[in-house]
Structure 1
Amino acid sequence: MSETLRPQLGDFSSIVCFKSLITGIEDVLGEKATAIALIAAGRTRGKKLAESLGLSGGLDSLDQAQAQLSQALGKEGTRLCIINKIITEGDTIKVYTSETVCSAGEAPDSQRKCTFTLGAAWGALEQILGQRFRGTHTDSVLRGGTYDVFEFTPM
């Protein structure tokens, strides 16, 4: 981000406000409709981010993508999450994240899914690899996992 969007408050807002937005939309639209909308919004964000980072095609490795995405979305960037690693197992790509905005402040054993964060990783991978995927949130720090893990399989 080269330009500050708000002159006095800066580019960031609180997790509390973001999560209130999510739960408020869930109250109005329901959990499933909200998840669909947040995943779609995240995918759009991920695609635009990968494009702005110059990651569209021509990538040497997923390690390169991980480093750039983690910087853009992590502590030095928007603070959406830390992307700890991206690995390939057969046709499946797994993205390991931590400190996701979606899991922040949730009670242990919460069934909350990382919808926007899943979507952001999904959109970025589709833009980077020029391929369509089906994405799922398969492991959660809220339910005993070490990471929030997103798995992507080709369509």
Structure 2
Amino acid sequence: MTTSIAPQIRSQLGDYSSIVCFKAVIVGVEDTLGADGAAVVFTRAGKVRGHNLVKELGLAGSNVPTEQIAGLLNAAIGQEGTRLAAVTRAYQLDDMVVIETQDTVCSAGEPLGSDRKCTFTLGAVWGALEAITGQIYLGEQTESVLRGGSSDKFVFSPL
């Protein structure tokens, strides 16, 4: 399966790789840099990916209504896109933007109660949101399916 975002990159195996391999990269970087250092690296990498994705989709600066962001992101990174995560909901809460995801790569295979955070997914959604709105936010993960949440929830406060 290829996405409509970009042409297929690998001719023999396609554009998708295993979650097991992606998680091995995460664990290896955490082992090298420590959890906090790895979180900075993966969040930043995700932000770059999110910004670039929005540019590829022609949505940079489009400032679409918050409620439409979930559908746009889900089409790009959900089941019909790159399969990073299912983006299920986006809404305003006072001056903050909340984006909820399910089935993230970061949480895949993790035991319940794990302290794993969705740093790359957070970053990708964060970068996409900033590119769409043209605003700068401070983002954080406030809920996790691994720790009893109904979703992996990301909250973005304007700076």
* Aligned match of 1:8: 12
Deviations 1:45-90, CA, capped at 9 Å, x for gaps: 0001111112122334123322121011011110000000101011
Alignment of 1:1-155 (within 5 A): 1-155=5-159
| Aligned AA (1:57) | G
CA distance in 2, matches of 1:46, 1:136: 15
Is contact 2:66–2:97 with CA below 8 Å preserved after alignment? no
CA distance in 2, matches of 1:13, 1:48: 20
Between stretches 48-57 and 5-14, larger displacement belongs to 48-57
CA distance in 2, matches of 1:49, 1:76: 14
CA distance in 2, matches of 1:2, 1:49: 10
CA change 1:59–1:131 in 2 (3 A) is closer
Following TM superposition, the consecutive aligned residue runs of length 4 or more in structure 1 with deviations greater than 3 angstroms are none
Is contact 2:64–2:133 with CA below 8 Å preserved after alignment? no
| Aligned AA (1:102) | C
Is contact 1:4–1:11 with CA below 8 Å preserved after alignment? yes
| C-alpha displacement of 1:145 | 0.6
Q: Which sections of structure 1, spanning at least 5 residues, go unmatched?
A: none
Q: How many residues align?
A: 155
Q: Which sections of structure 2, spanning at least 5 residues, go unmatched?
A: none
TM-score, normalising length: structure 2: 0.94
CA change 1:41–1:63 in 2 (3 A) is same
Identical aligned residues as a percent: 49
TM-score, normalising length: structure 1: 0.97
Q: Give secondary structure in 1 for the equivalent of 2:70.
A: helix
CA distance in 2, matches of 1:18, 1:77: 17
| C-alpha displacement of 1:132 | 0.6
CA distance in 2, matches of 1:3, 1:71: 16
Is contact 2:63–2:134 with CA below 8 Å preserved after alignment? no
CA distance in 1, matches of 2:148, 2:68: 29
CA distance in 2, matches of 1:76, 1:47: 19
Q: Give secondary structure in 2 for the equivalent of 1:94.
A: strand
RMSD over aligned Cα atoms: 0.9
Q: Give secondary structure in 1 for the equivalent of 2:38.
A: helix
